[in-house]
Amino acid sequence: MTLGASDAQGVGAVVVGERRSIVGGNWKMNTDLAAAVERADDVVAGCQALLSECDVAVFPPFPYLQAVGRALGHDGLLLGAQDVYHQPNGAYTGEVSSTMLLDLNVQIVLVGHSERRHVIGEDDELVNAKVRAALETGLNVILCIGETLEQRQAGRTNQVNVAQLVAGLQGVGTEQMRQVTVAYEPVWAIGTGQTATPRDAAAVHRVVRRSIADLYDEDTAGSVRIQYGGSVTASSAADLFAEPEIDGALVGGASLEADQFMGIVRAAVES
């Protein structure tokens, strides 16, 4: 699918080319070991045939990474971690480094998830340090950004998202952008059952893509994938993915049910 500049909203929109969708299942602090492995087996069984057309990643809790990685095998499903610390090793009780994740065959990490920012209290500086450390060790990164309801109501949506994007990507080179996906996840939509309309989500995605073009270049902006996240379900996914700007989804609640998750992956493939 190719979106011409004239189809995109606003002056200076980036012309985007073909991008492979990426769907991630963020299991957060849920499940137990047996259920995690069972769900991973179900995702493998359901996804196998779709992986030639869509990237699929699962993000189990840290303690289950190894077992889930074993269940995923080497068949193209991506093993993801929900967070990473920026230091390689040392006296950082409770933290996990990129190299430790690589040891477990983790390929992709979430950085700056809304719950890390708003529940745990991570700021842009820490998010940026984590992004850079993960990229330097060769991990792929999903940089999560998103405005709160208060910020949206105050008309600051674009400003907040651009600021988080720019801060998160500080010091990241053009080459490294190949390893980066952006997840736009409005905080008010996460876990609330309230999804942004496809139109509203796509409008933010365009602003984000324009900012990537300003920071890097048009080619980079055209090839970076921007996922939407926030109460995505199998029934809302198709309409979201019909927007050419939306390159897949980061899924929380619905990723805990293999059937729902597979429905979202199928919608991405069919879009």
Active site annotation includes 185: yes
Q: Catalytic: which of 115, 122, 147, 185? A: 185
| Interaction of residue 61 with ligand PGA, rule CB under 6 A | no
Task: Give burial (CB, 10 Å; 0-12/13-18/19+) of 6.
Answer: exposed
Residue 253 CB, nearest approach to ligand PGA (Å): 4
**Residue 151, number of CB atoms within 10 A of its CB:** 17
Q: How many residues bind ligand PGA (CB under 6 A)?
A: 13
**Piece in contact with ligand PGA (CB under 6 A), picked from 1-9, 47-55, 215-223, 226-234:** 226-234
Q: Catalytic: which of 113, 115, 205, 245? A: 113
Q: In angstroms, rounded to a whole number, what is the distance separating the alpha carbons of residues 3 and 199? A: 15
**Piece in contact with ligand PGA (CB under 6 A), picked from 62-70, 89-97, 129-137, 224-232:** 224-232
Q: In angstroms, rounded to a whole number, what is the distance separating the alpha carbons of residues 14 and 233? A: 28
Residue 231 CB, nearest approach to ligand PGA (Å): 4
| Interaction of residue 26 with ligand PGA, rule CB under 6 A | yes
Q: Residue 249's closest CA among 227, 224, 234?
A: 227
Buried b (16+ CB within 10 A) or exposed e, 90-104: eeeeeebbbebbeeb
- The 227-256 contact track toward ligand PGA, x by CB under 6 A, reads --xxxx-----------------xxxxx--
End-to-end CA distance of the chain: 9
> Which of residues 57 and 106 has its CB atom nearest to ligand PGA in the complex?
57
Name residue 248's beta-bridge partners. 22
| Interaction of residue 25 with ligand PGA, rule CB under 6 A | no
Task: Give burial (CB, 10 Å; 0-12/13-18/19+) of 22.
Answer: buried
Active site annotation includes 113: yes
Q: Which of 126, 191, 218, 225 binds ligand PGA (CB under 6 A)?
A: 191
- Kindly list the catalytic residues: 113, 185
Interface with ligand PGA (CB under 6 A): 26, 185, 190-191, 229-232, 250-254
